[in-house]
């Protein structure tokens, strides 16, 4: 909850003002039963003017209570809304800044539920605590204080019950945080399944696996229902137990008051007012109980939010003294790079190669051989375990992130397109002119199909670009990567949906229009990498072949087998 309090600090004045207004409104409401007792005891049967005066005073107190409570509730809603907006904004920003390893640790579904469900739980509690967190204690303490003044003996009955109520609330609420934490983890799993199914709906339908996915969803849904039911039953038991204790107190008060009135120790008017205060006290206790229940939800969610917000940056810019520069003769250098995701088995081992500016690198190999892992490390999504990676002689660990990332233009097989125009998807919020967009689209072989739409570059894409073909989508992604004239262009299996003719035209256009750009192509097809200055053949995180297409055909059996299986050893342009 420390994180929540830090966010609330900037709203302390507004909250204090709201609490003060709420306090005045509640005090005005507390006066109503007391004034009623005064009317019944001292005013009835006397001057009509006195009755009217005290009646008007009750109306004024009612109006003040109503008006001030409305104002305070509106202020509470505004504060909680702004608070939740701040938390969501910072949580989303932090999510974007997490390293790839940290994102893998949290998982995307969990991050989604933290931004949505968890922030809602905290927002709901902040709103409730401002509405009832002041009113309930004042009504409780104020009601008991006034009743003590009116009839101490009757008040002691209620006071005797309070320890039982607080003990019940404490022990049950103590179980709430772990219970609701478990519920939120179940929400994470359900979000993951929904996310996977929504993204793969076409494959699911094509393979007639809707029944299977329904069963998979039912499984995580049942788990969520089970955990929610457990938490709900345990936390929901507070209200019935509270009601039982309050009813016992009510019966005891009525039984005791009847004897006191009969013996002349109290008056009927006092008992009437007393029962009204008892109702206020009962409702206040119920409100306090709800606050405790909501607190357990809030505490569980706040803990999950704080885990993300307090995550320390694990990929920092290092000093040049620790990682000195090398010769600038080469644009990109990998020097004996080794890396492991789980620190058990190396996913990259002793990777070394050099590229001059304007050179092209092709990386080919079986699935899981480490091709994309090389790209992730070049862009410093992960830090390597051993060795060094250099761009223009600088170790990438010493390059500021903004400067490093602006060097790259990247198009990957599973990159996303969002629901907006083609132009905005290519521009992607960058300061890129329309002329640059058109030039990049022509190079990426996308201009012709874009202009075939009646609205051209203003054509609206659906989410994930589902209203265009796979090949068109890949050409738009390549256009996006090219549009800012990057120093290094990375095409990670981004032309797999292109036919051979379009792929060849794309390669030719890239070689012609971006001669000073260093190209790195990750592909499954030999035709996509055969013209590269350097080709790496990967297997189990190791380089098993390195050279040009012609030299690899002679020296690398694996490369020659891939080439023969795909093209029979020949290539058709």
- CATH number of the domain residue 465 falls in: 3.40.50.300
* The pLDDT of residue 168 is above 80: no
Query: If you write DSSP's letter for every residue of 455-478 in order, what string do you get?
Result: TGGGPBPPGGGTTS-HHHHHHHHH
279 and 215, same structural domain? yes
pTM over 0.75: no
Which domain, by its residues, includes 539? 315-407+493-573
What is the widest separation between alpha-carbon atoms in the chain? 119
Residue 408 phi, psi dihedral angles, 5° rounding: -105, 145
Break the chain down into helix, strand, coil percent, rounded to 5. 65, 10, 25
**Do 297 and 346 belong together in one domain?**
no
C-beta atoms surrounding 78 within 10 Å: 15
- 204 and 304, same structural domain? yes
* More confident call, 35 vs 408: 408
Q: Which of 253, 284, 309 marks a domain boundary? A: 309
3-state secondary structure of 13: helix
Q: Evaluate whether residue 21 is within a structural domain.
A: no
Residue 375 has pLDDT above 80, yes or no: yes
Distance from the first to the final alpha carbon of the chain: 64
pLDDT in tens, 181-239: 788 788 878 877 877 777 667 677 776 777 888 888 888 888 888 888 888 777 777 77
Residues whose CB is less than 8 angstroms from the CB of residue 143 and which lie 6 or more positions away in sequence, other chains included: 30, 277, 278, 280, 281, 284
Lowest mean pLDDT among 42-56, 348-362, 479-493: 42-56
**Among candidate residues 430, 452, 485, the one where a domain is terminated:** 485
How crowded is residue 314: how many other Cβ atoms within 10 Å of its Cβ?
12
**What CATH number does the domain containing 93 carry?**
1.20.1560.10
Residues 365 and 443 in one domain: no
Phi and psi torsions of 350, nearest 5°: 55, 50
* Pair (227, 371) in one structural domain: no
pLDDT digits (tens, 9 = 90+) for 338-371: 998 877 788 898 999 999 988 889 999 887 888 8
| Mean pLDDT calculated for residue range 134-144 | 77
Q: How far apart are CA 252 and CA 158, in angstroms?
A: 9
- The verdict on residue 60 lying in a domain is no
DSSP code of residue 421: B
Pairing state of beta strands 332-339 and 534-539?
unpaired
Indicate whether 402 and 433 sit together in one domain: no
Q: How many domains does the chain have?
A: 3
Average pLDDT, stretch 153-169?
75
One domain for residues 270 and 401:
no
Instruction: Return the pLDDT at 44.
Output: 67
Compute the half-sphere exposure of residue 240: CA atoms within 13 Å on the CB side of its CA. 6
Is the same domain home to 259 and 381?
no
**511, two tokens:** 């070689």
Within a domain: 47? no
Domain presence at residue 35: no
Could you give the CA distance from residue 573 to residue 517 in angstroms, rounded to a whole number?
A: 23
CA pair distance 475, 481, nearest whole angstrom? 10
**Same domain for 374 and 227:** no
Q: Is residue 56 part of a domain?
A: no
pLDDT at 569: 47
CA distance 512 to 507: 9
Secondary structure letter of residue 115 according to DSSP:
I
Which pairing describes strands 332-339 and 348-355: parallel, antiparallel, or unpaired?
Answer: antiparallel
Q: Is residue 395 part of a domain?
A: yes
- Among 309, 333, 366, the domain-final residue is 309
What is the pLDDT at residue 334? 92
Residues 214 and 331 in one domain: no
């Amino acid at each position: 909850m420390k994180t929540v309090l830090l966010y609330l600090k900037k709203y302390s004045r507004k909250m204090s003002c709201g609490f003060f207004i709420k306090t005045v409104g509640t005090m005005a409401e507390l006066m109503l039963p007391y004034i009623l007792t005064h009317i019944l005891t001292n005013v009835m049967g006397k001057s009509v003017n006195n009755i009217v005066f005290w009646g008007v005073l009750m109306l004024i107190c009612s109006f003040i209570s109503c008006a001030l409570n409305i104002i305070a509730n509106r202020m509470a809603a505004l504060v909680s809304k702004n608070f939740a907006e701040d938390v969501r904004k910072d949580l989303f920003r932090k999510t974007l800044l997490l390293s790839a390893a940290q994102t893998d640790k949290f998982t995307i579904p969990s991050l989604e539920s933290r931004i949505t469900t968890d922030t809602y739980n905290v927002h709901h509690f902040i709103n409730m605590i401002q509405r009832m967190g002041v009113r309930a204690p004042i009504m409780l303490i104020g009601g008991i204080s006034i009743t003590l003044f009116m009839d101490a003996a009757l008040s002691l009955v209620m006071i005797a019950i309070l320890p039982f109520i607080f003990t019940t609330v404490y022990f049950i609420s103590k179980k709430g945080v772990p219970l609701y934490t478990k519920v939120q983890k179940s929400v994470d799993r359900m979000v993951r399944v929904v996310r996977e199914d929504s993204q793969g709906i076409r494959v699911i339908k094509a393979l007639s696996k809707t029944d299977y996915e329904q069963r998979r969803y039912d499984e995580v849904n049942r788990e969520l229902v089970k955990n929610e039911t457990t938490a709900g039953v345990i936390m929901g038991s507070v209200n019935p137990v509270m009601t039982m204790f309050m009813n016992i107190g009510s019966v005891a008060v009525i039984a005791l008051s009847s004897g006191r009135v009969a013996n002349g120790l109290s008056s009927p008017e006092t008992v009437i007012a007393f029962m009204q205060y008892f109702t206020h006290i009962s409702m206040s206790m119920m409100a306090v109980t709800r606050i405790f229940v909501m607190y357990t939800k809030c505490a569980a969610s706040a803990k999950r939010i704080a885990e993300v917000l307090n995550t320390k940056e694990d990929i920092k810019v290092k000093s040049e003294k620790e990682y000195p520069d090398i010769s600038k003769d080469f644009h990109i250098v990998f020097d004996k790079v080794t890396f492991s995701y789980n620190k058990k088995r190396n996913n990259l081992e002793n990777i070394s190669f050099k590229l001059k500016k304007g050179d092209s690198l092709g990386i080919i190999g079986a699935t899981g051989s480490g091709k994309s892992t090389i790209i992730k490390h070049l862009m410093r999504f992960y830090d390597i375990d051993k060795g060094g990676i250099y761009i223009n002689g600088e170790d990438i660990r010493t390059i500021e992130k903004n400067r490093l990332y602006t060097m790259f233009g990247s198009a990957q097989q599973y990159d996303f397109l969002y629901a907006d125009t083609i132009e905005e998807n290519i521009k992607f919020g960058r300061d890129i002119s329309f002329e640059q967009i058109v030039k990049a689209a022509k190079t990426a072989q996308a201009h012709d199909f874009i202009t075939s739409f009646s609205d051209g570059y203003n054509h609206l894409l659906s989410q994930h670009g589902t209203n265009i073909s796979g090949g068109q989508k890949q050409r738009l992604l390549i256009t996006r990567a090219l549009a800012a004239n990057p120093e290094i262009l990375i095409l990670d299996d981004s032309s797999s949906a292109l036919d051979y003719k379009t792929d060849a035209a794309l390669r030719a256009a890239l070689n012609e229009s971006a001669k000073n750009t260093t190209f790195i192509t990750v592909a499954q097809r030999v035709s996509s990498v055969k013209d590269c200055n350097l080709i790496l053949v990967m297997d189990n995180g190791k380089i098993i072949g390195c050279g040009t297409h012609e030299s690899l055909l002679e020296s690398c059996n694996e490369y020659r087998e891939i080439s023969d299986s795909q093209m029979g050893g020949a290539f058709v342009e």
